[in-house]
Chain A
């Protein structure tokens, strides 16, 4: 086995995202996985390692040991391919791809699968809000009634107050997601929405409304990664992962230096761009972890595309599919959907399609480099990758 310099995506698959009552956790994982294997034109037994990304199945589905389950029902139990689950809350997907990337970089493996899955509708009513709140600091945040939406709302209110940002600008992130998702057949919501609809939707945690929040989603995404050696030997036209970076911050929002600065995102982005050797102006499009619309603005700023308080200047036109800096061509977390453990992997699915020119109606023109941002909680973890041709 030779030491691999570069890591390529050679196949990708995903299920439809949505409330998929007729499919189980294992159905979804297998469907996405097999599609990726087919797309990569390999056999399941060719896999040398499987990374399963999942955030909350232990609680929602009362199923742990997800990696073994995925391997088993992909039909490779007798091939004894090693498998492990990667959990980094809502950044599990990005973290799992990063582990796979590092494993290939190290020279240990040539062909690795990353599968992300979450089946969120297996739990009833408001119980899901409680389970989602476990991604915060349970003892000092959720204990007092904090939810992920509430913490995003607290950041939003202070941000609007300090920088005189209009509520409308925050809505534009969701409006853009829905416009793009209308062109994505896998998306949970394919309807376009207006700023007024966002502003008039039911309040979740003021000032954020239902249309500012990513939905409850079932879904799975999978990608196959391969070493430079494997790609060259088999003459595969893959998409290259140019760099991978990850950073942490305080878990609780109240411990951060600033409640609207995502320090982990700042650091991971800087490192990812530096390692990839590209500049911000080289980026063809962004996939952002906009679980709540406000994060779309904060991420644009902390990733260095706008000064603090100024992302409002980008969200009306620049972030559109045909704009200067397309954001979330997939439809993003708001409209494509947010199946926690699958979300980060699904960003790679989108990048793979876009960079191969196979994104159909939502194709970004001349797509060369994608910057993918996956985040956990209120910014406790950020994973950033650069993917390119």
Chain B
């Protein structure tokens, strides 16, 4: 259970922090969307990929002690909502930091990390995590 969907391994959006920008109202979304929740059909076909800088601010965070099996070796880990420079908020781990150093409002930037693998010797999946600036 909790295995990584094959489709997700192919997600360049995760690897490159690719969001989408509405060509109608200019709002940036991450995760990417096919349709803008503000402009609806006026945005169809106008959503353009946009690469986020990876810079953001900690909106809130938690230290997770009870975790699913895939994360049990990382316990306790810091999970946060990051408000990115471009606007959208995303969920990600903060790594290479002591929980005592983490605070609401502190600046972070994205790093490229291993997220897990399929089985013992399976395909490795990568993605974003965050470190304190």
Binding site for B on A (CB under 8 A): 59, 125-127, 129-131, 133, 138-147, 149-150, 153-155, 157-158, 161, 202-208, 250, 252-255, 259
- CB pair A254–B1 under 8 Å, yes or no, is no
- CB pair A259–B91 under 8 Å, yes or no, is no
- CB pair A205–B115 under 8 Å, yes or no, is no
B111 interface residue per 8 A CB criterion: no
Instruction: Give chain B residues whose Cβ lies under 8 Å from the Cβ of A155.
Output: 60
- CB pair A157–B89 under 8 Å, yes or no, is no
Determine the distance from Cα of A157 to Cα of B59 in the docked complex, in whole angstroms: 10
Residues of B within 8 A of A (CB-CB), count: 39
Determine the distance from Cα of A208 to Cα of B62 in the docked complex, in whole angstroms: 9
Binding site for A on B (CB under 8 A): 1-2, 4-5, 8, 11, 31, 37, 59-72, 74, 76-77, 79-81, 88-93, 99, 104, 115, 127, 129
Asked if A127 meets B69 with Cβ closer than 8 Å, knowing A143-B4, A144-B92, A157-B104, the reply is: yes
Q: How far, in Å, is A343 (CB) from chain B's closest CB?
A: 20
Determine the distance from Cα of A294 to Cα of B63 in the docked complex, in whole angstroms: 16
- CB pair A126–B61 under 8 Å, yes or no, is no
Chain A, residue nearest B37 (CB): A250
Determine the distance from Cα of A131 to Cα of B69 in the docked complex, in whole angstroms: 11
Instruction: Give chain B residues whose Cβ lies under 8 Å from the Cβ of A203.
Output: 63, 65, 76
Asked if A149 meets B66 with Cβ closer than 8 Å, knowing A154-B81, A254-B89, the reply is: yes
Instruction: Give chain B residues whose Cβ lies under 8 Å from the Cβ of A253.
Output: 81, 91
Determine the distance from Cα of A252 to Cα of B89 in the docked complex, in whole angstroms: 10
Q: How far, in Å, is A222 (CB) from chain B's closest CB?
A: 29
CB-contact partner of B91 in A144, A153, A208, A250, under 8 A: A144
Determine the distance from Cα of A130 to Cα of B3 in the docked complex, in whole angstroms: 10
CB-contact partner of A204 in B11, B65, B74, under 8 A: B65
Determine the distance from Cα of A295 to Cα of B52 in the docked complex, in whole angstroms: 32
Chain A, residue nearest B65 (CB): A203
Instruction: Give chain A residues whose Cβ lies under 8 Å from the Cβ of B2.
Output: 130, 133, 142
Q: Give the most central of B31, B77, B129: most A CB within 10 Å.
A: B31
Instruction: Give chain B residues whose Cβ lies under 8 Å from the Cβ of A130.
Output: 1-2, 68-70
Determine the distance from Cα of A161 to Cα of B84 in the docked complex, in whole angstroms: 20
- CB pair B104–A158 under 8 Å, yes or no, is yes
Chain A, residue nearest B125 (CB): A143
- CB pair A126–B104 under 8 Å, yes or no, is no
Instruction: Give chain B residues whose Cβ lies under 8 Å from the Cβ of A250.
Output: 37
Asked if A150 meets B64 with Cβ closer than 8 Å, knowing A145-B74, A157-B104, A254-B89, the reply is: yes
Q: Give the most central of B5, B31, B62, B69: most A CB within 10 Å.
A: B62
Asked if A144 meets B89 with Cβ closer than 8 Å, knowing A205-B62, A205-B64, the reply is: no
The 3 closest A-B pairs by CB, nearest first: A130-B68, A158-B60, A153-B62
Instruction: Give chain A residues whose Cβ lies under 8 Å from the Cβ of B129.
Output: 144
Q: How far, in Å, is B10 (CB) from chain A's closest CB?
A: 12
- CB pair A140–B79 under 8 Å, yes or no, is no
- CB pair A154–B80 under 8 Å, yes or no, is yes
Determine the distance from Cα of A190 to Cα of B65 in the docked complex, in whole angstroms: 26
CB-contact partner of B79 in A139, A144, A202, A259, under 8 A: A144
Asked if A139 meets B5 with Cβ closer than 8 Å, knowing A154-B79, A254-B90, the reply is: yes
Asked if A144 meets B93 with Cβ closer than 8 Å, knowing A154-B61, A154-B79, A158-B60, the reply is: yes
CB-contact partner of A146 in B8, B74, B79, under 8 A: B79
Instruction: Give chain B residues whose Cβ lies under 8 Å from the Cβ of A145.
Output: 64, 67-68, 71, 74, 77, 79, 93
Chain B, residue nearest A207 (CB): B62
Determine the distance from Cα of A259 to Cα of B60 in the docked complex, in whole angstroms: 9
Asked if A161 meets B60 with Cβ closer than 8 Å, knowing A204-B66, A254-B90, the reply is: yes
CB-contact partner of B65 in A59, A202, A254, A259, under 8 A: A202
Q: Can you give 29 A-B contacts (C-beta < 8 A)?
A: A129-B66, A129-B68, A130-B70, A140-B91, A142-B68, A144-B91, A144-B127, A144-B129, A145-B77, A145-B93, A146-B79, A147-B64, A147-B66, A154-B79, A154-B81, A158-B60, A161-B60, A161-B104, A203-B63, A203-B65, A204-B64, A205-B62, A206-B99, A208-B62, A250-B37, A253-B91, A254-B81, A254-B88, A259-B60
